[in-house]
Chain A
């Protein structure tokens, strides 16, 4: 219990620190910062990358904690490969706007296998696909972090999902599976959120019209208004295509993919029990799965 609480504290602090790093434009005061040990505006992207990278390292370490397990490692390895292949195909034949097929599987894996696996699935998909497409860059920690959040936040749907399943059991003739609708809505939400979070990485450094560009010390409300205006003008259409793509993929492939993942989760849930000490001595060690 103590270990779980401690783990939760680490998760929370890494997530909050990461959010603080990304959301700094909203609470940066208009204080003139000078002297050694303070940062210029040009140095901020590098600093953000470093800090996000450190938060990501802690989150990844904590998430991989119970993963010294061959089944989970093999499962994640293969699922990440499938998702990276989809991203590889999408990079070679770009879809419209911000359409990308990777979030479909990240959401489903997080929903079926839990937040930790979802986080690793999101972060590692971005890492592996960046490695194979030559897309490693300073933007990678922020991408891994955000994609990880997509997978990690999916279990939040479980209470609502269970209610939907219970209701569906009574109405078997429903045309759409309510659980899939819920996941599609989640995909829609993250389609916009992913773009909005990734925009924060560059927004403070882009010069633009006064009502859309960043200026230090404006206060939370005005900064939010300006960011919203910038987002509406530059990213809304792009992200709307990404979000619509997530919804379409979920509605089209969600049901059979969810069924397949659940079936395999049951198959992956078996455990090897260690042999008794006497037998272990004779055979030179036990095997844990």
Chain B
């Protein structure tokens, strides 16, 4: 289960649900699914250099969002206590509704952060770079060079620091960083020069340059697409009776179509292409089903339960078992990883 697009499908589904629902029951369900997939991936040996523990960060986000909203939003019927005085932003009633709304926002943010962390766990950087469309191959090369050169840069920085320390250089003020940063920059630029010469010597960018109508028409498409995006957005916001989403969708199609056509003009070979396995297809199909259940107006699903609002008076959020069951299907990548681990 290494096909990047299958994981992207799973991620997009999670993000769409997180963006449309504020029902804490669904949010907790989604978060549990994401955490389960993350834990199974970690057990399978996946790891990324996270400066801060995700658990700690998630805790902080939820606590901060709850406290911030409770202290700054003074709406709601169930008053816990009142902060006296005339402190700007803070003085006023602290309500249960504001606490719940803040915690809900925290859950959404945590869900987004966790789902992207899982994506980073599931896919190596090489696979993430392979997601860059063909039309952007120069950018993909730049990104590859940067990602490859990054550890070297950090190592070079440490070497320069050690060399300066041996000479008795001490770091006291900002100016003391000068003998570290400038050699790092100049050394990097020298390296870029050598790299450019090596790339030229190996014939990089020596392929036939595409020009003329094959370049112009797709760019015209993209230009028109941008205009449609802007028009659709304005129509959407003004609520003028025109269906803005349709215009936006047409613009997006024109842009993506133009990029696809331009991408076809840049032949790219891939070393060790990822195969599509049945697990990848399964994840994609499940993601499509979950999205359809949440977004399409299907009968008997109580999609209104997605749109929960604690203001003005706190009520218990409603829960549709079918929607909950559909969301539980997002556990499948984790189950597949767990099954694979158990069999190895």
Residues of chain A within 8 A (CB-CB) of B153 are 81-82, 84-85
Classify the interface of chain A: helix, strand, loop or mixed: helix
Q: Is the CB of A29 within 8 A of B238?
A: yes
Q: Is the CB of B222 within 8 A of A58?
A: yes
Residues of chain B within 8 A (CB-CB) of A213 are 73
Q: Is the CB of A267 within 8 A of B157?
A: no
> Does A91 sit at the interface, judged by CB under 8 A?
yes
Q: Is the CB of A43 within 8 A of B188?
A: no
> Does B291 sit at the interface, judged by CB under 8 A?
no
> Does A209 sit at the interface, judged by CB under 8 A?
yes
Residue of A nearest to B141 (CB): A73
Tell which of A24, A43, A51, A137 touches B229, judged by Cβ atoms closer than 8 Å: A51
Q: Is the CB of B150 within 8 A of A31?
A: no
Residues of chain B within 8 A (CB-CB) of A272 are 200
| A55-B189 contact, Cβ under 8 Å, with A85-B157, A137-B113, A137-B116 | no
Tell which of B89, B139, B191, B251 touches A212, judged by Cβ atoms closer than 8 Å: B89
| A78-B239 contact, Cβ under 8 Å, with A256-B182, A272-B200 | no
B324 to chain A, nearest CB (A): 19
B276 to chain A, nearest CB (A): 23
Residues of chain B within 8 A (CB-CB) of A89 are 154, 157
Residues of chain B within 8 A (CB-CB) of A120 are 139, 142
> Does A273 sit at the interface, judged by CB under 8 A?
no
Tell which of A21, A42, A62, A82 touches B233, judged by Cβ atoms closer than 8 Å: A21
Q: Is the CB of A79 within 8 A of B192?
A: yes
| A61-B259 contact, Cβ under 8 Å, with A132-B147, A257-B185 | yes
Q: Within residues 215 to 268 of chain B, which ones have a CB less than 8 A from any CB in chain A?
A: 216, 219, 222-223, 225-227, 229-230, 233-234, 236-239, 243-246, 248, 251-252, 255-256, 259, 262
Using an 8 Å CB-CB cutoff, how does the interface string of B9-53 with A read, 1 for contact, 0 for none? Answer: 000000110011110000000000000000000000000111100
Tell which of B20, B116, B139, B262 touches A43, judged by Cβ atoms closer than 8 Å: B20
Q: Within residues 53 to 107 of chain A, which ones have a CB less than 8 A from any CB in chain B?
A: 54-55, 57-58, 60-62, 64, 67-71, 73-82, 84-85, 88-89, 91-92, 105
A231 to chain B, nearest CB (A): 13
Q: What are 22 A-B residue pairs whose CB atoms fall within 8 Å in the complex?
A: A29-B237, A31-B238, A40-B307, A42-B21, A46-B19, A51-B248, A54-B229, A64-B138, A70-B196, A74-B145, A79-B189, A80-B143, A81-B145, A124-B142, A132-B150, A134-B117, A136-B116, A207-B101, A256-B182, A264-B192, A268-B193, A286-B206
- Chain B residues proximal to chain A, CB less than 8 Å: 15-16, 19-22, 48-51, 69, 72-75, 88-89, 92, 98, 101, 105, 112-113, 116-117, 119-120, 125, 128-129, 135-136, 138-139, 141-150, 152-154, 157, 174-175, 177-178, 181-182, 184-186, 188-189, 191-193, 195-197, 199-201, 203-206, 209, 216, 219, 222-223, 225-227, 229-230, 233-234, 236-239, 243-246, 248, 251-252, 255-256, 259, 262, 297, 307, 311
Starting from the known contacts A73-B138, A289-B200, 18 additional A-B residue pairs (CB-CB under 8 Å) come to A17-B226, A17-B227, A38-B244, A51-B229, A55-B229, A71-B192, A78-B191, A79-B192, A81-B150, A81-B153, A82-B188, A128-B146, A136-B116, A136-B119, A136-B120, A208-B73, A264-B193, A267-B193
Top 7 A-B pairs, shortest CB-CB distance: A77-B145, A46-B19, A31-B239, A74-B196, A81-B149, A74-B195, A78-B192
- Chain A residues proximal to chain B, CB less than 8 Å: 6, 9-10, 13-14, 16-17, 20-21, 24, 27-29, 31-33, 36-40, 42-43, 45-46, 50-51, 54-55, 57-58, 60-62, 64, 67-71, 73-82, 84-85, 88-89, 91-92, 105, 120, 124, 127-128, 131-138, 205-209, 212-213, 233, 248-249, 252-253, 256-257, 260-261, 264, 267-268, 272, 285-289
